Amino acid sequence: MKLTRKAAPVALATTLALTLAACAQSDRGSSSSSKSSGSGGNVKDTITFGAAGAPELFDPFYATDGETFRVTRQMMEGLVGIKPGTADIQPELATSWEASADGKEWTFKLRNGVKFWDGEAFNAAAVCYNMDRMFDQNEVAQGGPAGYWSDVMGAFKSDAKNALYQSCSAKDDMTAVIKISRPTSKFPTALSLDSFSMQSPKALKAGDANNVTKQGEGFGYPAYSKNPVGTGPYKLGKYDEANKTVTLVRNDDYWGEKAKTAKLVFKIIPDESTRRQELEAGSIDGYDLPNPADWKGLKDAGNKVLVRPAFNILYVGLNPAHNPKLKDLKVRQALYYAMNRDQLVKTQLPEGATVATQFMPETVSGYNKNLKPYPYDPEKAKSLLKEAGAEGMTLLFAYPSEVSRPYMPNPQKIYEALRADLEKVGIKVQVNTKPWNGGYLDTVDNGGYDAWLLGWTGDYNSADNFIGTFFANLKENDFHTKATSYGPQLSKDLQAADAIVDETQRNAAYERINQQIQEDYLPGLAISHSPPALVVSPKMNGLVPSPLTAETFSSVTVSK
């Protein structure tokens, strides 16, 4: 074939286009074109929810972030579940459980008639396969991705003697026995964590689920992580990475009450104000973590702001090793008395925020109801400073920039309020700030500040997850309690309380410790608890806000 110079490129382009068109077949499902999907009536067959970030992967075991769990929670279930709207546990895939007298052997009765989507039966063998799979991680996974197992169980199979988890065995087909090395308050509550969801052994095996690798400066996950199999009310439909949407579809074989809406779409919109605009334009039905400053405007526009019970704590950390003046209890108390926290909560924190009386919110078992907040008393603060010979002391006090956390929506404003209070009683505040990921957390960890703003959002309902995290590890904690007279005792008491098998006795022990922390030790200053919120359009019904941000969508409907 002879072509003129001008015709050649045209011919080439035409051929290319034709070839591409020939191999480009529309692969739309027939269901999407016919929009009637049975549910009919006046509810939509799709819920569209605005998420702030993309899920990392779909195997929750290797995840530690809320965006991943928001998706996997709809698809996976654990032995232990969470009662909607609370932080309390309830039966899920296990119908009941009991501990041996020494608290080291836990027997779980399993729910009958549950199947994974791939048809595999859920039974004791499946439970033990999952537990052993989580226990037996390679070195790379141990270093980072298996974060919640590290947190809760301490170690993996390669270091079995230091692990909380010991073994799992099937007593009979529907009874699993899990043995742990010591009694702990984490059990069985921690099993409600999304990371410990039950997944199909067959699919885990087929997808080489444990094969986490190091890829450059990141981690590589096996095929399974894109193609998970669980027992939940929804299953994974499609993850359209290019269009940043995750579509879940109803699991019609679900053992419990089936999902009310056939399709659940998570649209990933990283920018907060764009999420708000999408809601206003009606293209999403709700989104997470609206800026507290927007709550009123959103409500005025008819939307529902669903406020979650606060499950967090904002504190001012203190490091006596960096500023010896802080070793004196009177000085620490003076800082506390100097702070007008009622004012702070009213002016800088979202509606529903409360002044903290201890290092945990009241939803956590072990919370001491009798404790009263340190009142705002600048005169007392001044006299305490005088007694301690610390009048006019300087304090290197820092806050993070480029971050917003549920417990601290606007760090700078909170900081400015506290700083003004401290300066009123004559303390010279040395201001310091660094970006959250740009050195702030590193400096806190390395003990580089006298005082700093930080906080914590609980993972599950246990006092250990709050005060245990802060003070139980004497060797290394941000508060440097090893440099204090009370640190070793506090650490010992916390470990002893964690090991009490009887719940009532254990809670009493934690209440005692909370009182000691506030009245005798004061390792840091617990400031406040702030409730994070979700916002949904007036048409959405049935979404129950969860203190653990563990909302499920199976009961949600959106009217047309």
Partner 1 sequence: MLRFILRRLLQMVGVVIVLSLLVFLWLRSLPGGTVSAILGEKATPARRAALEKALGLDQPIYVQYWEFVKRALKGQFGSSTGVLPGSDAFQIFLQRFPATVELSFFAIILAVLLGIPLGYMAARRRATWFDNGTVVGSLIGVAVPVFFLAFLLKYWFAIKLHWLPVSGRQDPGLDATRVTGFFVVDGVLTREWDAAWDAIKHLILPALALATIPFAVIFRITRASVLDVMDEDYVRTAESKGLTNRVIRGRHILRNALLPVVTTIGLQTGGLLVGAILTERVFSFGGLGEAVAIAFERRDYAVLQVCILMAAITFVVINLLVDIAYAVIDPRVRTR
Residue closer to partner 1, measured from CB, 181 or 247: 247
**Location of structure tokens 């964690």:** 498
Q: What are the residue ranges of helices labelled H in 232-302?
A: 272-281, 295-300
Question: At its nearest, how many Å lie between partner 1 and the CB of residue 215?
Answer: 4
Cα-based distances in Å from 148 to 151, 155, 406:
5, 11, 20
Cβ burial of 287 (10 Å; 0-12, 13-18, 19+) is buried
Question: At its nearest, how many Å lie between partner 1 and the CB of residue 113?
Answer: 33
Residues within window 399-458 making contact with partner 1, judged by CB under 8 A: 402, 405, 434-442, 445, 454-457
Residues within window 305-334 making contact with partner 1, judged by CB under 8 A: none
5, 28, 161, 372: residue in contact with partner 1 (rule CB under 8 A): 28
Question: At its nearest, how many Å lie between partner 1 and the CB of residue 32?
Answer: 4
Residues within window 50-79 making contact with partner 1, judged by CB under 8 A: 54, 56-57, 62, 64
Residue closer to partner 1, measured from CB, 223 or 420: 223
Contact region with partner 1 (CB under 8 A), list: 15-23, 192-200, 352-360, 507-515: 15-23
Number of Cβ within a 10 Å radius of residue 6: 7
Number of Cβ within a 10 Å radius of residue 43: 17
Q: Could you give the CA distance from residue 361 to residue 342 in angstroms, rounded to a whole number?
A: 16
Residue closer to partner 1, measured from CB, 291 or 457: 457
9, 119, 256, 270: residue in contact with partner 1 (rule CB under 8 A): 270
139, 159, 172, 173: residue in contact with partner 1 (rule CB under 8 A): 139
Residue closer to partner 1, measured from CB, 55 or 183: 55
CB 337 within 8 A of CB 375: yes
Residue closer to partner 1, measured from CB, 97 or 479: 479
Q: Side chain identity at 424, as an amino acid letter? A: K
Residue closer to partner 1, measured from CB, 269 or 331: 269
* Residue of 210, 127, 110, 120 whose CA lies nearest to 168: 127
Tokens linked to 279: 């809601």
Residues within window 233-262 making contact with partner 1, judged by CB under 8 A: 238, 240-245, 247
Does 481 sit near partner 1 (CB under 8 A)? no
Count of residues engaged in binding partner 1, rule: CB under 8 A: 73
Does 348 sit near partner 1 (CB under 8 A)? no
Residues within window 144-163 making contact with partner 1, judged by CB under 8 A: 144, 147, 150-151
Question: At its nearest, how many Å lie between partner 1 and the CB of residue 68?
Answer: 9
Question: At its nearest, how many Å lie between partner 1 and the CB of residue 409?
Answer: 15
Q: Could you give the CA distance from residue 247 to residue 276 in angstroms, rounded to a whole number?
A: 21
Does 196 sit near partner 1 (CB under 8 A)? no
Does 221 sit near partner 1 (CB under 8 A)? yes
Number of Cβ within a 10 Å radius of residue 125: 15
Number of Cβ within a 10 Å radius of residue 16: 10
274, 347, 505, 559: residue in contact with partner 1 (rule CB under 8 A): 274
* Residue of 185, 152, 150, 153 whose CA lies nearest to 166: 153
Distance of CA 143 to the CA centre of its chain: 19
Q: What are the residue ranges of helices labelled H in 318-388?
A: 329-338, 341-348, 378-387
5, 20, 38, 161: residue in contact with partner 1 (rule CB under 8 A): 20
Tokens linked to 40: 């009919």
Tokens linked to 168: 């799992």
Residue closer to partner 1, measured from CB, 48 or 348: 48
